Amino acid sequence: MLSLDYDDTLMAAAGHQAEAIIEEVKKKYKGNYIVAVEGNPPLNEDGMFCIHGGRPFVEVLKETCADAKAIISWGACASYGCVQAAKPNPTRATPVHKVISGKPIINVPGCPPIAEVMTGVVTYMLTFDRIPELDRQGRPKMFYGQRIHDKCYRRGHFDAGQFVEKWDDEGARKGYCLYKMGCKGPTTYNACSSMRWNGGVSWPVQSGHGCIGCSEEGFWDKSSFYDRVTEIKQFGVESNADTVGKAVAGTVGAAIAAHAAVTALVRARQKAGESEKISDTAGEK
């Protein structure tokens, strides 16, 4: 697998040796190698905002991917453009999938992506010789198939209507939900809340900061990291338990009353039918 990074940080070799290895792999494994890309190519000024080995990164990227079996875009930069592509994007930083076409491209977003997710994607491809099932944004469903909100350990507080109202308040000390502080967990798909980071030690929400949605397309331009996600409804078990209870009881009571009314009507009709039958019989006699 080729690891193409504009600053060479992912390559074991460096300089001319690294360039030679890339050329060797491209020839020896033509059509059967995977290119892993970190960062995105800036297209403005003929790509001169990012130079790789004395050449525009976009040129090196296109040449390297030409005979690749598949491409993996590591991180939000390669997948979506991230902060480099944020408005007004003076360098025209562009996601890999908008530069490379005709090849399978797997987006593994996050700023950065989880290490176990990265190795999991590569392991899957090497083991089964196919790309994993992808969602509409080109992300592997096995890691980006659920919202962070769905597996968050603070979800119970969300459902109970218990929220952090300001940093370091009593709710924050008790580990209440960070939704009101701008947490994007309800609209972000990633494995952070189930796999966590640094070998499962922790993750942003556990450390007291809301999710910023870095695995979603265009997250940098959507809104402030501290703007509340709108149109998200919680159950509110504690805040309106009496109301919920009354509503449920009322619904059940109405259903029982309706059932009783229908039953009474059916019985009345049955009795009327039986009376008519008795009258007809008496008349015949």
Q: Residue ranges of the domains in the chain?
A: 2-144, 148-222, 240-285
What end-to-end distance do the CA atoms of the chain give, in Å?
100
Cα atoms found within 13 Å of the Cα of residue 245, Cβ hemisphere only: 6
Confidence category of residue 52, pLDDT binned at 50, 70, 90: confident
Can you name the CATH fold of 2-144? Rossmann fold (3.40.50)
- For residue 248, pLDDT over 50 is answered with no
Q: Confidence class of residue 14 from pLDDT cuts 50, 70 and 90?
A: confident
pLDDT (tens digit, 9 = 90+) per residue, 200-217? 999 999 999 999 999 999
For residues 115 and 157, the answer to whether their CB atoms sit within 8 Å is no
* Site of tokens 């967990």: 185
Taking a C-beta distance cutoff of 8 angstroms, is the pair 144, 215 a contact?
yes
For the segment 60-72, the average pLDDT, to the nearest whole number, is: 95
**What length is written for the chain?**
285
Output the pTM of the full model: 0.76
Has residue 236 got a pLDDT over 70? no
**Whether CATH 3.20.20.150 fits 148-222:** no
Average pLDDT for the chain: 84
- Where does the pLDDT of residue 13 fall: very low under 50, low under 70, confident under 90, or very high at 90 and above? confident
Cα angle 15-102-57, degrees, rounded to a multiple of 5: 25
Give the pLDDT mean for 109-134: 95
Whether 33 shows a pLDDT value over 70: the answer reads yes
Q: How far apart are CA 101 and CA 68, in angstroms?
A: 11
- The stretch 156-164 carries a mean pLDDT of 95
